[in-house]
């Protein structure tokens, strides 16, 4: 707490912002993260006056802060009209958000979601904490400021659990009661916003705790098309999924935390596939990218098939990998068959390059393309995958016997 001034002003960009002389405050998550010792990827400012002019003035100023100016060079300027915000995206990934201060700083902070985010900092004044946010941060509590703030922006109902997932903190009983009371209003939020907030929840390490809590409070049934019973069953299997991921060989773990689509990591995607299993994807209030939707459809279809027949037997494995394609990795993880990952790697190599090329098969058979050629290519690769063909000579002999 005593070092917050040193940390804030030690940031050269903050110093440069304050040097412009306007009434400008740092607010929100940056201060929260500073208090808990976490590095923040963005800084929010509220400014009295024209925020576009202020941002342009910041970029144009060259007299002070050479280090800060270097960081600001090449920044992209984005105007978010819905949020009435100007955003500067720096080359290093840091974002600076500028919002116009309407009314007093008390009004601004009083309209925020949680006490831990209702913080402001001003040179000469220091930390402005009107709702005991610092105290709640110290006690690891997620506490709503008022029910009206949730009515004004129902996405905050889901955000409460996203913060549970991110920090592992406790959502106060009164805050959870607000969610229970207003849960149906989440449907008023745009599907795109719900999706990104839900994906953030899935990306963080305490997601299982957050999922169970939000499910118990009846929030998910308001935007996910899945029965409560099925959802609980899916959530119960999450620890097994995480254990399976933990046991992955290092070469498979290396990419699992990388972004897949819509800011969802591959790890988060596996969690999404598990949570939504048995749901009606077209009826969920989620705006999914095409690649995520197709991945879910394919994985869920094969998982459902696996409940009725052994699609992972040596006899069926090649066909399973063929149908799964890019979803094959997900399928093995979600079904607990990580022991087959080595065979999946073999499948990928064979499918990319088998004993005979398509051109060589056409030369031998006289085929110019079409379904017959496709079947021969598939059969040849399958025989190679199963170890029945090991050399090019064996492949040619098999092809002549099979087709000619």
Residue 322 located in a structural domain: no
Is residue 64 predicted with pLDDT exceeding 60?
A: no
Summarize the confidence of residues 357-378 as an average pLDDT: 92
pLDDT tens across 267-293, in order? 999 999 999 999 999 999 999 999 999
Count helices and strands in the chain by DSSP H and E runs: 23, 11
Query: Which two three-digit tokens encode residue 350?
Result: 């064979």
Task: Identify the residue with better confidence: 154 or 124.
Answer: 154
pLDDT-derived band at 376, boundaries 50, 70, 90: very high
Is residue 87 predicted with pLDDT exceeding 80?
A: yes
Is residue 371 predicted with pLDDT exceeding 80?
A: yes
Q: Are residues 186 and 269 in the same domain?
A: yes
Strand stretches in 131-188, DSSP E: 141-142, 170-171
Q: Are residues 267 and 397 in the same domain?
A: no
Q: How many residues does the chain have?
A: 404
DSSP of 257-288, one letter per residue? Answer: TSEEETTEEHHHHHHHHHHTTTS-GGGSS---
Q: Are residues 274 and 177 in the same domain?
A: yes
What percentage of residues in the chain have a pLDDT greater than 90?
84
Residue 78 located in a structural domain: yes
Mean pLDDT of the chain: 93
pTM: 0.90
Residue 340 located in a structural domain: no
Is residue 360 predicted with pLDDT exceeding 60?
A: yes
> Based on the structure, what is the number of domains in the chain?
3
* Contacts within 8 Å (CB) and 24+ apart, 290-299: 291/260, 291/261, 292/260, 292/261, 292/262, 292/264, 295/269, 295/326, 295/327, 295/330, 296/272, 298/323, 298/324, 298/325, 298/327, 299/273, 299/324, 299/327, 299/330, 299/331, 299/334
Q: Provide the CATH number for the domain around residue 203.
A: 1.10.3090.10
């Amino acid at each position: 707490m005593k070092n917050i001034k040193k940390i804030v002003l030690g940031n050269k960009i903050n110093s440069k912002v304050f040097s412009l002389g306007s009434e400008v405050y740092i607010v929100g998550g940056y201060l929260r993260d500073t208090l808990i010792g976490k590095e923040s990827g963005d800084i929010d400012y509220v400014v009295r006056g024209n925020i576009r002019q202020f941002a342009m003035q910041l970029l144009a100023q060259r007299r002070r802060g050479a280090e800060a100016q270097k960081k600001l060079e090449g920044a992209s300027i984005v105007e978010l009209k819905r949020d009435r915000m100007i955003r500067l995206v720096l080359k290093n990934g840091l974002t600076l958000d500028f919002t116009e201060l309407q009314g007093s700083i008390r009004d601004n902070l009083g309209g925020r979601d949680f006490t831990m985010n209702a913080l402001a900092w001003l040179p000469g004044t220091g930390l402005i904490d009107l709702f005991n946010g610092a105290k709640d941060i110290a006690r690891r509590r997620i506490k709503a400021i008022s029910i009206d703030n949730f009515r004004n922006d129902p996405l905050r109902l889901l955000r409460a659990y996203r913060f549970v997932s991110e920090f592992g903190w406790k959502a106060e009983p009164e805050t959870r009661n607000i969610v229970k009371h207003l849960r149906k209003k989440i449907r008023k939020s745009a599907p795109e916003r719900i999706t990104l907030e839900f994906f953030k929840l899935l990306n963080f390490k305490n997601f299982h705790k957050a999922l169970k809590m939000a499910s118990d409070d009846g929030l998910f049934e308001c935007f996910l098309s899945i029965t409560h019973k099925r959802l609980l069953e899916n959530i119960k299997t999450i620890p097994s999924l995480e254990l399976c991921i933990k046991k992955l060989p290092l070469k498979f773990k290396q990419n699992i935390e990388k972004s897949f689509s819509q800011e969802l990591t591959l790890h988060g995607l596996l969690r999404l596939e598990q949570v939504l299993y048995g749901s009606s994807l077209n009826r969920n209030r989620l705006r999914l990218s095409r690649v995520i939707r197709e991945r879910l459809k394919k994985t869920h279809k094969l998982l459902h098939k696996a409940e009725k027949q052994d699609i992972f037997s040596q006899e069926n494995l090649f066909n399973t990998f063929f149908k799964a394609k890019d979803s094959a990795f997900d399928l093995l993880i979600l079904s607990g068959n990580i022991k087959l990952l080595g065979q999946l790697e073999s499948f990928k190599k064979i499918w990319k390059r088998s004993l005979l090329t398509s051109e060589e098969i056409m030369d031998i058979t006289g085929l110019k393309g079409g379904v017959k050629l496709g079947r021969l290519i598939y059969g040849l690769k399958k025989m190679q995958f199963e170890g029945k063909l090991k050399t090019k000579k064996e492949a040619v002999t098999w092809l002549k016997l099979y087709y000619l």
